[in-house]
Structure 1
Amino acid sequence: MHYIESGVGEPLVLLHAFPVDARMWNGARARLEEHARVITPDQRGLGESPLDGASARSLSEPRERAAAAASPSLDLVATDVLALLDRVGVRRAVFGGCSMGGYVAMAILRTAPERVAGLLFADTKAAADDEQQRAGRLEVADRAEREGTAGWLADNTVPTVLGSTTRERRPDVVERVRELVDSQPPDGVAWAQRAMAARPDSSEVLRSFTGPALVVVGEEDTLTTPDHARELAGLLPAADFVTLPRVGHLAPVEAPDAFADAVLRWLS
């Protein structure tokens, strides 16, 4: 599993959104690494991490690797992340995730609650997909395998993941997100979509978490709206809630300084 690590202090593991990779955290990293040991993995099949997860899971037999890759599950991604933390000597951490990364953080809480010191959620939700949403994900997965992802995936994704203010006033951010989306491997995109489509509802596991939590949402997020974020915060017994103005679904990319400020206030 490829990852970037910087800073010193309490471990803060940041898990990226779909369909980008750990580079989405670069804008906020400079501020966060002054106060935390920031670890940002590329999740299985995306960025520079292999789809079979071999480097994290130490799978040696080709048959085992193929079986792992053939069964999309965010629980596998959670296992990858925990194995990475074992390798770098981190027993407990604050786990943060944006969108899909939030789903992975919930899977980590479900798998190994004893390793979760705190939770940071950005633009994500606890609920599983409904049938229409699952069907949409599977359609994207099939198309990625048939056609690759060049062009069309970014065309379909960028208008929905970025807020209207970013699309109108931050052309550099729009272009950067397009580049991130276009660089993702089609097989990893397909696998991630199927894994998200199969994820369970995480409401009960979040209700059981009594540690510190922060929920951040972009004011202009139309995918996981501020109402969704309030519902998520309501599930967590000790959650703080922050709305970032003029920001959409990729809050850490669109407003990295404002996002880092909110996280640092919470960490302190």
Structure 2
Amino acid sequence: MSRLLFLHDVDVLPGPVGALRLLAEDTDVVVPRHPGFGTPVDDVAGQWDSVADLAQHYLSDAVPGLVSDPTAGPLHLAGAGFGGWIALEMAVRAPHLFASLILTSPYGVKLSGPRERDFADIMLLDPDEVVELGWADPAACQDLRMPGFPTGLADSEYARAFADRAALARYAWKPFLHDPRLRRWLHVVTVPTLVLAGARDRLVPPTHSAELAGLLPVARFVEVPDAGHYPYLERPDEFHRLVRSFLRGVRP
């Protein structure tokens, strides 16, 4: 059975939510929680200050046997948003470990000039603004948790959401949501790559994801209609169809 390491975006609930449930029907889907976002190694991760630290953590066999056991079947790497950034950092460091790469509206690579903004400032947006910019249909928002959102949660869940945002700020505040060294190494990612973006994503514009795909040696860009920043939550059936078709076409 193929294995898929999927790295979540920020604010997304842990575990196999959305399309990941569908993919798990015939794929071994591993969905870890990022250090600093509620894991047993949060105390150690408190000393980390870059997404490169998270990439190295996962490459150091954070999930025992996942990257170190080549006999377990091909390992596919996927990530969305912030998780897509981590996945890119992993792919440039160890492309030989992965059979393919799937990116969904990833942060991490700045493509415009120093005075131009590539991504919406998710650190300053209110939760309602994140939903408005990140979903084609804000009324359909689900599987997100942010400070104060949704209403009616226990205080402990809001505390976790605030702690998650603090971790995000430590990893990604400066430079904001990108690694200036990452772009220069994209040419080493020679595994088959699928870059997905919701057509109505206003957190990471689909034009950014399309341009990023053009910088990767073996990448195909697909725009998901009627979806925002979280197509695997908003259009799970379509996301599953696209990813399943891609994975079936990848030769280990």
Q: TM-score range by the shorter chain?
A: 0.7 to 0.9
Q: How far 1:208 moved relative to its partner?
A: 1.8
Q: % of aligned pairs identical?
A: 26
- Counterpart position of 1:194: 170
Find out whether 1:12 has 2:1 as its counterpart: no
- Counterpart position of 2:25: 34
Aligned residues: 227
* Residue of structure 2 aligned with 1:49, choices 28, 35, 39: 39
- Give yes or no for contact 1:123–1:249 (8 Å, CA) kept in 2: yes
* Residue of structure 2 aligned with 1:77, choices 50, 54, 57: 54
- Give yes or no for contact 1:44–1:188 (8 Å, CA) kept in 2: no
Q: How far 1:189 moved relative to its partner?
A: 1.3
- Give yes or no for contact 1:41–1:81 (8 Å, CA) kept in 2: no
**Paired residue secondary structure (1:243):** strand
- Counterpart position of 2:191: 211
Q: How far 1:10 moved relative to its partner?
A: 1.6
Distance across 1 between alignment mates of 2:148 and 2:87 = 22
- Counterpart position of 1:119: 101
Distance across 1 between alignment mates of 2:166 and 2:126 = 11
Find out whether 1:103 has 2:85 as its counterpart: yes
Q: How far 1:20 moved relative to its partner?
A: 2.3
Deviates more, 1:91-100 or 1:211-220: 91-100
1:116-146 residue CA offsets vs partner (Å, 9 max, x unmatched): 3211000124524957869x96965xxxxxx
* Residue of structure 2 aligned with 1:241, choices 221, 230, 237: 221
Q: How far 1:177 moved relative to its partner?
A: 2.4
TM-score, scaled to structure 2: 0.77
Distance across 1 between alignment mates of 2:105 and 2:231 = 7
- Counterpart position of 2:152: none
Distance across 2 between alignment mates of 1:225 and 1:260 = 21
Find out whether 1:87 has 2:69 as its counterpart: no
Find out whether 1:157 has 2:137 as its counterpart: no
Distance across 2 between alignment mates of 1:194 and 1:128 = 18
- Give yes or no for contact 2:202–2:228 (8 Å, CA) kept in 1: yes
Q: How far 1:267 moved relative to its partner?
A: 0.4
Q: How far 1:156 moved relative to its partner?
A: 4.0
**Paired residue secondary structure (1:177):** coil
Find out whether 1:177 has 2:144 as its counterpart: yes
Runs of 4+ deviating beyond 4 Å:
129-134, 136-140, 178-182
Q: How far 1:45 moved relative to its partner?
A: 2.0
* More helix by percentage: 1
- Counterpart position of 1:4: none
Distance across 1 between alignment mates of 2:123 and 2:232 = 28
Alignment of 1:247-262 (within 5 A): 247-262=227-242
Distance across 1 between alignment mates of 2:235 and 2:122 = 31
1:63-111 residue CA offsets vs partner (Å, 9 max, x unmatched): xx3xx41432111211232344551343362111111011100111233
Letter in 1 for 2:209: A
Letter in 2 for 1:177: L
- Counterpart position of 2:14: 22
Computed over aligned residues only, the root mean square deviation of the Cα atoms, in angstroms, reads 2.9
Distance across 2 between alignment mates of 1:13 and 1:76 = 17
- Give yes or no for contact 2:135–2:229 (8 Å, CA) kept in 1: yes
- Give yes or no for contact 1:20–1:181 (8 Å, CA) kept in 2: no
TM-score, scaled to structure 1: 0.73
Letter in 2 for 1:45: G
- Give yes or no for contact 1:220–1:245 (8 Å, CA) kept in 2: yes
1:7-52 residue CA offsets vs partner (Å, 9 max, x unmatched): xx121111111122434x4221232123321110111222x424x4
- Give yes or no for contact 2:13–2:144 (8 Å, CA) kept in 1: no
- Give yes or no for contact 2:3–2:29 (8 Å, CA) kept in 1: yes
Q: How far 1:250 moved relative to its partner?
A: 0.8
**Paired residue secondary structure (2:221):** strand
Q: Which runs of 5+ in 1 are unaligned?
A: 1-8, 55-64, 141-151
